[in-house]
Structure 1
Amino acid sequence: MARTRREIYSLGETWNDTVLWYAKAIKELGPRPVTRKASWRYLAAMHDFDRDQWIDLGYLAAGEALPPQAEQDAYWKQCQHGSWYFLPWHRAYLSSFEDIVGAAVKALGGPDDWALPYWNYSSQSNPSALNVPPAFLARTMPDGSANPLFVTARFGRTLNRDSVQLDTQLSDGDFVGIDDGPDAGVGGPRTIFMDHGDTEGLIEAQPHDIVHGQLGGRGGLMSYTTLAALDPIFWLHHANIDRLWEVWLKRDPANKNPAEADWLNGPTRKRRFAIFGPDEKDRASNPQDVLSTEKMGYIYDDTSDPLKGITRRRRRLEDFLAHRQTFTIAEEGRPQAMPAGGKFELMGSNDKKIALGPETATARVKLAPRPLESLTGSFSSTALRADTPGEPDRVFLRLENISGKDGSGIFDVFVRGPDGEHMPVGSISLFGLERASARGGSHAGTGLTKTLEITKAVDALHLNKADLDELEVSIVPRSDVRKEDQIKVGQITLYRQSGG
């Protein structure tokens, strides 16, 4: 029978059996040599690894033996980010970890059906949902010994509600977006093996990235791909991300995983996935092998739909009607919307790089008149009617080729309308920036690309050619960002995309 992963706050007292056995197992796995596959540090290095960082933070001794380079090349630094393999690879990785921890629990005298808990920080019914679970803040366990769930390099204690909203992520119906387009879908863009791709799927961008940044803070383990899996809370965070994949699939029968062989069979060029079980022997871990959590040996206690069935089209209509009194456009003779089928068009861009630091950065995106006319014409109650095929155009703001030396930063993004109103359009985390900026990395230092759908703001601002010819974008640091981080945005672009 499949074991059940349960929400950590639903388990009751701080030191319930599930959490206590987790801590005891970590205490068992932690001292094992990093050369042993079934060890805490080897498992963490499978996500990503940086020798100097590990030594600086005391997770590796100078001169300590590492696995042979050929073994490292096969098993370490596998994390899939900015890739359509993000969700399936992390599921296989998480399952391997859970099985190894479960074997340690059983060997220590614990239950043989131990399951990793998850942390549902997006819960609307739990008043403590945004707070780090108490067991991860306690310095000692009930017996007075040091608590392995507590790490000093974790500087976040509470998450922001707007950083874990799921409306956009779960209401999107596409796992994969448009190739080379602004919409990367729920699961991410088509890629080969991509340890740090430049464009992310919706669930990866938020809540995944922003939770990483908020929990880690500057210098914290969770803020860096090379350190994140050393923090025991990493695994509860990823259990929730994995659960959201199940929620998305079950909330709408039309939501489907890719059926393409390139996804199902995993990457065949550059590298393949290398995942193993408690016996340290490799096991099948391509996407086709992880489609059913029950067949993998676990289920979740709750995969209900937090959006209560609301679709993206329904949400668009509600947003439109909320601003209808200020957003008046002709219903007859409106410009022809872009043909359906995933077409996209550049609406405008800024003309220079901008630096991000401790102060607000502002850029002006010049708008092309013809795309703007067609865009405003597609935003109408007629276009949103249930009997109208497809849906109105969508608008995306892209911050492209972001590079820098520190990826712990989180920024809030605003656009300014013709009446001077600043509208929030989302937040970005630069999780993985260092890797994406490395010239010898997987994509030659091109950096990260962050995409925000700003359709709701465009609805509210009623943009049209008569009102303005540029869009002002403000990027406001939320966290500790410094000039020496040398963060730069290569270009800011605005796209319109057919709703399909």
Structure 2
Amino acid sequence: MTSVTRRAALVGGGATIPFAQWYASQSWARAPFVRKDLSTPAGQADLAKYAKAVKIMSGLAEANPRGWMFQWYIHAVRGDRTKAAELARVYPAPSPQRTLAQASWSTCQAHSAGTVENYFLPWHRMYVFFLEAICRKLLQDNSFVLPYWRYTQPNQRALPVAFRQQASPQWGTLYRPNRNPGINNGVPIDQGLNPTPINTLSLNQTSYVPAAGQQGFCLNIDANLHGSVHVRVGNGQGMGSVPWAANDPIFWMHHCNIDRMWASWNRNGGCNPTDATWLNKTFTFPDANGNSVVAKIGDFKSIGALGYTYDVFEPGPRIGGCLPFVLNVRDLPLLAVQRRPFKLDPGGPVEIKLEATSAEAMRGNPKNLGITKRTGRTLLVIDGLQAKVQPGVLYEVGVKDAAGKTTVVGHLNFFDAVSAEHGDHGDHGGAMPEKFFAFDVTRYIKKGEQPTVVLRPDGKADAQADAVVTGFSLVQD
């Protein structure tokens, strides 16, 4: 370990390299890499290599771009410190490594102010890709690939055993104490949730961006499956909180699976954006030698161009053609609304009665805005989530009809809704990305009804959270 650490301390710095030039220079770049389900024998072999790589990275100096802390901080600097203070502490003098840290730390998309929701999937693909390359180099194993956690399978919803063995010489480096009660004992992450938010429903989206009466694939998988896994696994100093999440080694297995879901959606016919703003957006990451590489989204829109694939893709509905228009769900005819802050109860339900809208709002005609086909669905849209600290739970979303019957239609999570986490963790500036949840309630709301929404925590929420939801809308698609 000492020799590796000393040698690694000498790498890093130098000129910034464009990704295409960097990739062309890699001896392994044309190998057909296959990322595997970590529950399989081949996936377990890759997981053992990953555990070894995490141990090596954890032994490197904080200033080393290939070290564990540096890689964690690319997602976000830890929540009890600022980026500016950590830069000054780790790099007291100017250096190429400090310049790289300035450019790459706290650049996660899209969970802080000034970031862009549509960059969520490609940014995390880049993040995982470069960490995989670093592991490959530190292990001196050009065949290494990261495995993925396929929690979308009902029999894989417990945290994998390798991440729960604190005292194990082989696996202990993958253990973290900052996980929710029972998780390190093998309790399934969706235990007690019905319907489960750990599902593949994001594959039903027919557009990458919000369009017509849907969130779009990127926002849908971010806000629902992705956020729910984070919150159910870790607490406010672990996977459940943006600034701490990437310190847990399970983070990378989680995001391998999110990347696999995106690749699955593309295979099923889902179309990525084609606009220049999206394709030409760049982010900076350390490469396998700790040098600076500038990666462009256009280079990461397809896994085929990156030389890797997955052993299994998720089946889903065939998307016959991508929607040619972009129409926010809020532009649909508004049937009922409630827009004021509702403080959620940490231990029990809160009821929000929606009110009928004006005749003018109800006469909205989305056909004039580009919609050529109506679905007739009624959607409940919820936005404006905010909390002081992570509640540590999901909130059931129920709708109560006129007869008093409540039906659970989904869940909310507060993964990136904590105001204290949006402070000095980057240089983005600007407002938070606009996010919303959308639930199909057609079967549960009669025509002309103004339902009551019921929000109930799935356990005991942190009393300090002061979780608030502001926006509730019933719209017609």
What's the TM-score bracket when you normalise by the shorter of the two chains?
0.7 to 0.9
Amino acid at match of 1:11: P
Percent of paired sites with the same residue: 22
1:367–1:471 Cα contact (<8 Å) kept: no
Secondary structure, aligned partner of 1:285: strand
What is the distance in 2 between the residues matched to 1:281 and 1:70? 11
Aligned residues: 412
What pairs up with 1:94-493 in 2 under 5 angstroms? 94-106=128-140, 111-123=141-153, 127=155, 129-141=156-168, 144=169, 147-155=172-180, 156=183, 157-160=187-190, 162-167=196-201, 169-178=202-211, 183-187=214-218, 201-217=219-235, 219-252=236-269, 255-266=270-281, 272-305=282-315, 307=316, 309=317, 344-358=332-346, 359-368=348-357, 390-407=373-390, 408-435=392-419, 438=422, 449-454=435-440, 457-458=441-442, 460-465=443-448, 468=449, 470-493=450-473
Instruction: Give how far 1:475 is off.
Output: 0.6
Instruction: Give how far 1:291 is off.
Output: 2.2
Instruction: Give how far 1:9 is off.
Output: 0.6
Q: 1:479 to 1:341 in 2, by over 3 A?
A: closer
1:425–1:452 Cα contact (<8 Å) kept: no
* TM-score, structure 2 normalization: 0.78
The equivalent position to 1:76 in structure 2, one of 67, 89, 105, is 105
Secondary structure, aligned partner of 1:74: helix
Between 94-103 and 407-416, the greater mean CA deviation after superposition:
407-416
What is the distance in 1 between the residues matched to 2:120 and 2:264? 16
What is the distance in 1 between the residues matched to 2:53 and 2:404? 56
What is the distance in 1 between the residues matched to 2:38 and 2:421? 36
Between 366-375 and 229-238, the greater mean CA deviation after superposition:
366-375
Q: CA-to-partner distance for each residue in 1:280-312, whole Å, 9 max, x for gaps?
A: 23334221011232332311111141x3x3679
What is the distance in 2 between the residues matched to 1:40 and 1:415? 44
Instruction: Give how far 1:368 is off.
Output: 3.1
Q: CA-to-partner distance for each residue in 1:213-243, whole Å, 9 max, x for gaps?
A: 00003x3410111111110000000000000
Instruction: Give how far 1:54 is off.
Output: 9.9
Gaps (5+ residues) in structure 2? 1-30, 111-115, 322-326
Secondary structure, aligned partner of 1:402: strand
The equivalent position to 1:9 in structure 2, one of 39, 56, 74, is 39
Q: Which has the higher contact order (CA 8 A, sep 6+)?
A: 2
Secondary structure, aligned partner of 1:453: strand
Gaps (5+ residues) in structure 1? 188-200, 267-271, 314-339, 379-388
What is the distance in 2 between the residues matched to 1:475 and 1:448? 21
Q: 1:410 to 1:448 in 2, by over 3 A?
A: farther
The equivalent position to 1:494 in structure 2, one of 459, 474, 477, is 474
Partner of 1:191: none
Amino acid at match of 1:86: F
Secondary structure, aligned partner of 1:352: strand
Secondary structure, aligned partner of 2:378: strand
1:172–1:312 Cα contact (<8 Å) kept: no
Q: 1:230 to 1:354 in 2, by over 3 A?
A: same
What is the distance in 2 between the residues matched to 1:123 and 1:54? 38
1:273–1:286 Cα contact (<8 Å) kept: yes
Runs of 4+ aligned structure 1 residues displaced above 6 Å come to 310-313, 371-375, 443-448
Structural RMSD (CA)? 3.3
What is the distance in 1 between the residues matched to 2:54 and 2:467? 36
1:405–1:485 Cα contact (<8 Å) kept: yes
What is the distance in 2 between the residues matched to 1:423 and 1:146? 42
